[in-house]
Amino acid sequence: MSVAVLGGGAFGTALAISIAQVRPVILWARNAQDWTDRQSPRLPDAPVPDAVALTGDLKRAIGADTLLFAVPMQSLSGLLAAIPETLQGKALVACCKGIDLRTGQGPAHRLAETKPEATAAILTGPSFATDIARGLPTALTLACADDTVGQALQTELSTPNLRLYRSTDVAGAELGGALKNVIAIASGACMGAGLGDSARAALMTRGFAEMMRLALHFGARTETLAGLSGLGDLALTCTSPLSRNFRFGEALGRGDTPDATMTVEGKATARAALDIAERAGLSLPITTAVHAISTGQTSVADAIQGLLARPLKEE
């Protein structure tokens, strides 16, 4: 089986570097011709080894049997539109975290709907690209509704520093990975505003309750949310300044202007999550606050006041 990673940003590049330890891998980057010293502009100090076939030729990359889609969530549909070819018999693995604004779908569902001739899966969990590229140990969830394909992917994509746990709960893996970014923005804002570790712990816990509320409504399993792709990634992203979502929130909390060039998946995901929650009749107060501060509709101080002023309730 041959593997190609589509997307030469931080995560796609790190995955290709790791997979190259165990099998040949193609890395497709739309700007491959601009790379110097085989380094992604999005992942400095991590040149891709010669074992990675770096290319700017999308047609060549999609010839592989397993395709990993590692672009930001809101770019996934555009990338799929650039692939009119049938992907019959291939495994398509979503490596993005978010909810598509236009359709309200997670990344594996986007793949399945757009390319029904292939088998869709998702790879997600607590893993900074820089850690993977440095060969540090990481554990992720590989979710595929077809467990036979899931088992094959688990074997194919595990590497000495990438340990994959398997699941058939695609919706749970998608929503855990998407929603933790929203809560990471809230945690960053909390720390940037100097509210302290206790407040962050409260936000993480009540944020996790929101993640569960939405995900279980859409058929996800509790153990998936409590696993690597949910709680695991929530813990990582809400507590580390390596997280771009956390740093975005932290800048807002400090009253600074966030770096506009940074990929911050939680911003669009907050909007998309509120849309699907509204249709489902669910309340997501922290997500509502994150959407309001991310779009400049509310100050962080007012958002915090709004959350604290909510009626007292049972846990």
Ligand X SMILES: O=C(CO)COP(=O)(O)O
**x/- map, 253-292, ligand NDP, by CB under 6 A:** ----------x-x---------------------------
Spatial neighbors of 25 by CB under 8 A, at least 6 apart, are: 3, 4, 5, 16, 19, 51, 52, 53
**Binding-site partner at residue 111 among ligand NDP, ligand X, none, CB < 5 to 8 Å by type:** none
CA-to-CA separations, 262 to 24, 78, 153, 250, in angstroms, rounded: 30, 19, 30, 14
The single residue among 3, 4, 5, 7 that binds ligand NDP, judged by CB under 6 A, is: 7
Residue 16 and residue 114: Cα distance in Å, rounded?
24
The single residue among 3, 4, 5, 12 that binds ligand NDP, judged by CB under 6 A, is: 12
Q: Which of 78, 82, 35 is nearest to 54 (CA)?
A: 35
Q: Which is nearer to ligand NDP, 249 or 304 (CB)?
A: 249
**x/- map, 30-49, ligand NDP, by CB under 6 A:** xx----------x-------
Stretch that binds ligand NDP, among 95-103, 167-175, 248-256, 280-288 (CB under 6 A): 95-103
Q: Which is nearer to ligand X, 114 or 237 (CB)?
A: 237
Helices (H), the chain: 10-19, 58-61, 73-81, 107-114, 129-133, 147-157, 170-192, 197-217, 222-225, 233-239, 244-254, 265-280, 285-294, 300-308
Catalytic residue among 59, 90, 115, 180: 180
Phi/psi for 19 (5° steps) reads: -65, -30
Q: CB of 97: closest distance to ligand NDP in angstroms?
A: 4
Residue 42 interacting with ligand X (CB under 6 A): no
The single residue among 2, 21, 39, 75 that binds ligand NDP, judged by CB under 6 A, is: 75
160 burial (CB, 10 Å; 0-12 / 13-18 / 19+) is exposed
Q: CB of 234: closest distance to ligand X in angstroms?
A: 10
Residue 97 interacting with ligand X (CB under 6 A): yes
Whether 229 contacts 172, CB under 8 Å? yes
Q: Respond yes or no: is residue 115 known to be catalytic.
A: no
**Binding-site partner at residue 213 among ligand NDP, ligand X, none, CB < 5 to 8 Å by type:** none
Residue 262 and residue 259: Cα distance in Å, rounded?
6
Q: Which is nearer to ligand X, 159 or 243 (CB)?
A: 243
Residue 243 interacting with ligand X (CB under 6 A): yes
Q: Is residue 302 a known part of a binding site?
A: no
**Binding-site partner at residue 200 among ligand NDP, ligand X, none, CB < 5 to 8 Å by type:** none
What is the number of other CB atoms lying within 10 angstroms of the CB of residue 34? 10
Shortest-Cβ-distance residue relative to ligand NDP: 9
Amino acid present at 128? F
Residue 174 and residue 178: Cα distance in Å, rounded?
6
Positions in the binding site for ligand NDP (CB under 6 A)? 7-12, 29-31, 42, 70-73, 75, 78-79, 95-98, 127-129, 263, 265
